[in-house]
Chains A and B, each alone.
Chain A
């Protein structure tokens, strides 16, 4: 077998894992859309905010230091302590839950029964707000995120497979991506277990099915919303950690939302497995296209190809691969 064959397999494998990274972001969208019909554009900024909060807590940064310094002429910077990673993650999660409460209390509650597009716009407004607020709180410099995740190619695999074909340097798989896959699987499994085997989870599914009916059997919609936004906050934190480990925590982290949108389209807005499968299809599709066709048309095709791929799928299945069938009546 030729080296090219193995390289193609390598591209597919890496595409799958990159796809999982996209799915991590897409999951947050699905959770919220399922339970409240809100297309939450702020998911990307939530990931950024969660990661910033985590790093800020780890390093003992003083929130709003720059602002306080400017107003009062002080020179505050750090508390001088460092919080252990695990504790910092818990605290960051706490912040995200608090955030979920605030969103429900000050935004969602007032927008019940509005058009989906209004809710969508409100989340973009929320995204703007959090961009400004997050930078004010933690500063806009690049922060190194270190939670002990391994980085770099898997040397063992590379050495074991080297020389399988002439000119083949062995399979390259990023350790971080492997971890991401494990974490994503665990995340999805626990989400499914949560929604199947706990009372709250069943309530969540009831709301997703039909919120009027759920209301009538005594499920508090507002409580459910806080729970799903907290869950989405948790997913955002995980996504923020995985992506932040690659590039450092900085503004651009919020733009990963754009990579999640084609995944959503393809997998369907309402399906958790759809987010994972969609992510993998997008990941493999865009990597293979860049590998096979990219060099002939100048490269950097990934951004638009993901959307075009999703578009092609949609033309045949307008509700996404796993989305609920759209039934329209007059």
Chain B
């Protein structure tokens, strides 16, 4: 009743192939965009309740950035079926590329810095994607760990990457776009938020259109059965490597933002360790493999859950912080298992089921 797919007639091909062919979806999409682009920035500027900094830096930025990375990984794992645990290393490539670009070309706009960082990461990703032509499944997952450990070691070891600073920490200098500061300590919350939001929307739009086009279909053919795909004429080399490239491009953007906008200073072994790779994989799986929307809610879940638990246990119930964190671990772990048992196809599948239900509800037939 509330969610209707029927009665929505198309009179042109353009209309039939638009991203959201169903009117209701389209309206929902515009509403969310309006909230994201108008309501939230207004709240941040007016600083309702004095929490603008907290909300931006502790919740919104990590959510947006992880969502970009999750879309990237979902392309590789969810659409092309190549399991990767090297995402942390690829994020590090994005971060260090951004740092080198920022310090070498001080006048370059931050937008181009982020995009070029993504492109550099794409190159590295393609390189590390080469073994995927021979190695499959868990063997590939463990093989991508080679990328993870090697890249982290490299950035820690070669002083050129961190401009010979004594400790190897990299810090983001202030950079701006159209005169608005995006990085550095004095950047306003709304500027940082909007910058990341625009990138997320761009990435999601690009990913959505790639995945429903020719290249996306060949990814899915490889995922479903690579030998069969090869026989019907999908080139595995080009397809797998393009998935690695596109995926790493997005992950690289996320890495650059993670360093430059979110954290501001980064130490590679700590910020981009193996746990980041696992976290990202969780987002993709909890959200739903092969779903852009799923990646975004997966990221939201994994970012918000710990913060919510912490706020409840420490600030509301006044538990000691260590017990709260131990519980947080146990609860997050248990929730992951429960989710996988109840709905192995992720939150995106829950959403699809909900739509199914809403089609009829509240009427029985």
Contacts and interface: CB of A to CB of B under 8 A. Distances in A.
> In the complex, are there CB atoms of A and B closer than 8 Å?
yes
B62 to A, nearest CB: 18
Contacts of A117: 77, 83, 285, 289
A191 to B, nearest CB: 22
Interface in B105-164: 131, 134-139, 142-143, 145-146, 149-150, 152-153, 157
Interface in A101-136: 106-107, 110-111, 114-118, 120-122, 124-133, 135-136
Contact of A265 (B142, B332, B341): B142
Given A114-B344, A318-B135, A307 B142 contact: yes
B153 A310 contact: no
A295 to B, nearest CB: 13
Contact of A136 (B143, B228, B330, B333): B330
A132 B327 contact: yes
A311 B143 contact: yes
B20 interface: no
Interface string A235-256: 0000000000000000000000
A319 interface: yes
Interface stretch (B92-100, B185-193, B255-263, B315-323): B315-323
A283 interface: no
B277 to A, nearest CB: 11
A265 B83 CA distance: 14
B333 A125 contact: yes
Given A136-B330, A314-B143, A122 B340 contact: yes
A114 to B, nearest CB: 5
B351 interface: no
Nearest to A140: B322
Given A39-B138, A66-B323, A118-B344, A328 B131 contact: no
B134 A70 contact: no
Interface of A: 39, 66-67, 70, 106-107, 110-111, 114-118, 120-122, 124-133, 135-136, 140, 258, 261-262, 264-265, 269, 297-298, 300-301, 303-304, 307-308, 310-311, 314-315, 318-320, 326, 328-330
Interface of B: 77, 83, 131, 134-139, 142-143, 145-146, 149-150, 152-153, 157, 225, 227-228, 231, 274, 278, 281-282, 285, 289, 319-320, 322-323, 325-337, 340-341, 344
Instruction: Give the top 7 A-B pairs by smallest Cβ distance, nearest first.
Output: A132-B329, A129-B333, A128-B333, A125-B336, A132-B330, A307-B146, A304-B149
